[in-house]
Amino acid sequence: MSGEHASRRLIDDYAHGDTELAADTVWALEAHLEACAPCRSRLAASVATGEPGVAALLDTVRAGLAPQLDTAVRAPARRYRPRWASAWMTPVMVPWLAMTVTVTLLALLMAAAGTPVRFGTGSPMLLIAPVLPMCGVAAAWSRGLDPAYELTASTPRAGLPLLCRRTLAVLTVVLPAVLVEGWLTGAMTAAQWLLPSLAFTSTALALGSLVGVTRAAAGLVVAWGAVVVAPAWDTSRVPVVLQPGQLPMWGGLLVLGTGAVIARRRAYRAP
Amino acid sequence: MTSAMSAAGTAPKTYAWEIRATGLKVRAGRKKMAVDGLDLSLGTGTHGLLGPNGAGKTTLIRALATVLSPAEGQLELLGASVSGVGDHRALRRRIGYLPQEFGYYKRFTVREFVEYMAWLKEVPKTDIPAAVQRAVERVGLADRADHRMKTLSGGMVRRAGIAQAIVNDPALLLLDEPTAGLDPAQRLRFRELLLELGRDTCVVVSTHLVEDVAAACSDVVLFADGRLVFQGTPDELAAAGGSGHPGDSPLERGYSALLHNSEQPGGTW
C-alpha cells in the first residue's frame, strides 16, 4: 500500500480474485475499502475495465433487483422538530419561554389599553425585566423540571457548554421580547434594564456552581423583590439601582459573574 | 455504515479491568453511605449485579456512570480515575447508561430521543443517523421509531432506553433494572442482546431477578449493605446453596445462603 491508500496493483489483484493474496492483506484491504470512498471507486473502475465477467454478473443481479429497488423508496423519518432545535433547547423549556413572552405581551396590552398600571414614572415591567431572563435560564437548567436529568448528567456534553447553549437560547427569545415591549410602550429604555438583566443572569450562573442555578435564581429574585421592588412600589421614582449612573456597577457585576463562571467551569456537571 | 475499524477499536487496551474499585464509598443523599468500602474488579463480559432492595445497587451504578462522585476510595473506569472533580468527557463518550427510572421528553419520537442522546454523547454528526437506526433495530423498535415516546408501552420505553444506552457503542454499559416492565418474550430477546453485547463490552446489569443472571450473565456480583458479598460465576453461586436454604432454583438457594450471613434487620421482607 502506498501512503494511506491501497495500491493500484493490489486493487487489481483483489478485483481479479487473485488467490495469491495473503488473507491478512485481503482483510486489511477490505477494512480500508469500507472506510475509503476513493479506493472503492478505483475498485469499481478496476472491475469495470479488467473483469468483464464480474461486471456482467453485477449487472444481472442489479437488473433482477431493480423492480424491487425502485419501489422500495425509503420513507422519510417523521419529525416534529428540526434536528438543530434540540441542541439548543429542551421541550420543557418551551412552556417557560412561552410564559415569559406572554407576560411581556400582557404588559404591552395593558399599556396599550391605557390601564393605569404605571406608578409614577416607572412601570412594573421595568422592575421585572432585570430578573426575567434569569428566571428563564433557571427553568432551563433545573433538575426538577428536566425529566431527562439523569440521562443528561451522564453524558459528555453535560456541563458548562450545554448550560451556555441553553442560556443563549433563553436570552435569544426573551431579550428581544422585552426590548420590543420597552420600545413600544416607551416605559423603559434598553439602557435601564439590559445590562442589569445580563448581570443577574451571569451572577445566577456563578452562584449556581455552588448551590444550583435554580436555587441561586430563586435567591436573587427574593433579594431583588425585598431590596428594590418592595420599596419602589409605593414611591413614584425609578429605583436608584436602575438609574443610568449605576450602569458601571452592573457592568462590573456582569464581568465578575462571567469571570466566576469561567473560573468554576468544571463545577457545572449537570442541570 | 460505520467502518469495521476505528482508531479507538484497534487501539490497545491500557488497563487490566474496565471497572476497578478499591475501598469505594459513595453517598446516597447527605448522610447514608450506600456503597461502603467496595473492592471490585470487572473486565469484559456480562456481570449481573444482584442484591436485595436497598443494597446500594443503584447508587453504585450511578457512581459508575459518573453521575455521583465517590466520597472516598479509588474508582477507575476504562483506565481513567474518576475520583476527583475532573473532565470526564472522553470517558463519558464510552459509557452507556440506562437509569432505573429514566425520564425522557414525552413529545420526542423514539428516533428523536435516541438521536438527541447520541448528540449529547458526542457521536460524530455524520454517524448519528446510522447509529440511531442500528440501536433502534437492535432493540426491535424499528417499526415504532417514528412514534412519540408517550404512545409507547412501558416495555417499549424500556427498550428505547436500552437503545439510547447502546447508541454510542459503549465500552462500558451500565443497565439498572433493564428487565423491569418487559414481557417474557422480550426478556428472552433482551438476554440474547446482553450475551451479544457482553462479548466485547463490560456490561453491568443490576437486577433482582435471579433467572436473568442465570441466563445472560457470565459473572455474578452479589451486593448487600453497600459491600461485596460474593463474586463468581453463576455456577459457583448455585454451588453455595444447599437444599436447606430457601429458594426454588439452585441459584436462588445460593443467593439466600450467601445473604443469610449478612441478613438485614427489618423482618422477613
> Domain residues of chain A, as ranges?
8-71, 85-267
DSSP state of A269: -
Q: Judging by beta carbons within 10 Å of its beta carbon (0-12, 13-18, 19+), is residue A171 exposed, middle or buried? A: middle
Its ipTM equals 0.83
- A31:B117 CB<8 A: no
Distance, in angstroms, between B217 CA and closest chain A CA?
24
Give the pLDDT score at B10.
66
Higher pLDDT, B18 or A244: B18
Percentage with pLDDT > 90 across chain A: 18
> At residue B34, what are phi and psi to the nearest 5 degrees?
-80, -30
Q: Are strands B19-27 and B33-42 parallel, antiparallel or unpaired?
A: antiparallel
Tens of pLDDT, residue by residue over B117-131, are: 999 999 999 999 999
Amino acid at A39: C
CB A174 within 8 A of CB A97: yes
Q: Does B164 touch chain A (CB under 8 A)?
A: yes
Q: Pick from A193, A190, A196: which is nearest to A250 by CA?
A: A196
Answer yes or no: are the C-beta atoms of B78 and A48 closer than 8 Å: no
User: Exposed (0-12), middle (13-18) or buried (19+): which is B51, by Cβ within 10 Å?
Assistant: buried
Q: Binning pLDDT at 50, 70 and 90, where does residue A119 land? A: very low
Classify strands B172-176 and B19-27 as parallel, antiparallel or unpaired.
Answer: unpaired
Average pLDDT over residues A37-60: 89
Q: What is the largest CA-CA distance in chain B?
A: 59
**Positions of E strands within B89-161:** 95-98
Q: Which of residues 22-61 of A touch B (CB under 8 A)?
A: 30-31, 34-35
A158 and B120: CB-CB below 8 Å?
yes
Q: What would the grid cell of residue B1 be?
A: 455504515
Could you tell me the pLDDT band of residue B86, with boundaries at 50, 70 and 90?
A: low
Calculate how close chain A gets to B257, using CA atoms only, in Å: 35
pLDDT over 80 at A271, yes or no = no
How much is the pLDDT for B172? 94
Ranking A41-55, B84-98, B115-129 by mean pLDDT, the lowest is: B84-98
Please give the pLDDT value at position B261. Answer: 63
| Dihedral sign for Cα atoms in the order B74, B79, B81, B82 | negative
pLDDT, tens only, A213-251:
889 999 999 999 888 888 777 666 677 777 777 888 999
pLDDT tens-digit map of B211-248: 888 888 889 998 888 888 889 898 888 888 777 788 88
Residue A121 binned pLDDT confidence (cut-offs 50, 70, 90): very low
Q: How close B250 gets to chain A, by Cα (Å)?
A: 36
Structure confidence by residue, pLDDT tens digits, A14-45: 888 877 888 888 899 998 998 888 999 999 99
Three cell numbers written together for B155: 416495555
The three three-digit cell numbers of residue A196, written as one number:
442589569
